[in-house]
A = this chain, B = another copy of it.
Amino acid sequence: VNQPAVFENICFILVQTLHSGNIGSAARALKNMGLHRLKLVNPCDPANRECQMMAVGANDVVENAPRYSVLEEAVADEHVVIGTTSNRGRRQKTRIYTPREVAPLICQYAESQRVCLVFGPERRGLSEQQLALCRYLVTIPASPLFPTLNLAQAVMLMAYEIFSLSETERTPPPELATEEERSRMFRHMERVLLEIGFLSRSNPGHMMRAIRRILGQADLTERDVRILRGIMSQMEWYVRSGKNLDRKDILKP
């Protein structure tokens, strides 16, 4: 997926937003997720202090957002319109998608066409007439005891699902020690733990397996192996040098 080109075709539309802070937060959320196209339908004042405060570094997204007086105008040049709804009390006439189900559809369409996601006003949501403009409907899964999400949170979840699909680059895993390096480390441990009497000479394997299991859960890098062997070497040195002898000597009159 060519992310910039695809994302150029994805637009978020906020309809009759009541709180300007939500417009700022939504803009920030979009920009966090690599999106930037926003349209505002009959909004509260999006140029005020509250909006700017919440947008932080995403004021450009708000400033570049065209304004419309009705939703029909805002979606006029869109190929696919997707509406968000709380779905409470709605008759189940059409399939309601989850964000995770609809995100791949959005990205597919956006390869070659303009797609928009529409969010209604706080509390009320989109009207039946506005929902009728939509090709797909989405509801964000939520607790039935407290299902009303903040508008900007809903925008974030949708943007996150879209962004997660385009996220192919992963952070590289740490560079690990080889099994040979780990084996040498465990043999070293066994020698030292025998020497200090932690392992029984008759059955050192039992406890060594437990230690191997504990450390086997870590992604041990070469440096980690050096640290753990460092502890063992220090113990060996301490044991052989008679370091504690000095202290005993000092105690002697």
Contact = CB atoms under 8 A, between A and B. Distances in A.
A146 B196 contact: no
B243 A245 contact: no
11 contacts: A29-B153, A31-B146, A32-B142, A32-B153, A56-B148, A141-B160, A198-B234, A217-B219, A238-B239, A239-B244, A242-B248
Interface stretch (A62-70, A71-79, A89-97, A104-112): A89-97
Interface stretch (A8-16, A41-49, A124-132, A220-228): A220-228
A227 B95 CA distance: 18
Interface in A167-184: 167, 171-174
Nearest to A149: B32
A141 B153 contact: no
Lowest 9 A-B CB distances belong to which pairs?
A217-B218, A34-B143, A198-B234, A196-B238, A31-B146, A141-B167, A153-B156, A32-B142, A242-B248
**Max chain B Cβ within 10 angstroms of own Cβ: one of A147, A216, A218:** A218
A244 B210 CA distance: 27
Given A28-B150, A34-B143, 5 more contacts: A32-B146, A33-B142, A156-B157, A157-B160, A193-B231
A146 B242 CA distance: 58
A220 B228 CA distance: 17
A32 B214 contact: no
Interface string A168-208: 00011110000000000000000001001110000000010
A167 B98 CA distance: 11
A82 interface: no
Contacts of A217: 217-219
Contact of A171 (B32, B33, B87, B173): B87
A134 interface: no
A214 B218 contact: yes
A153 to B, nearest CB: 5
Contact of A25 (B150, B215, B235, B242): B150
A92 B193 CA distance: 31
A225 to B, nearest CB: 9
A148 B54 CA distance: 12
Contacts of A149: 29, 32
A92 B157 CA distance: 27
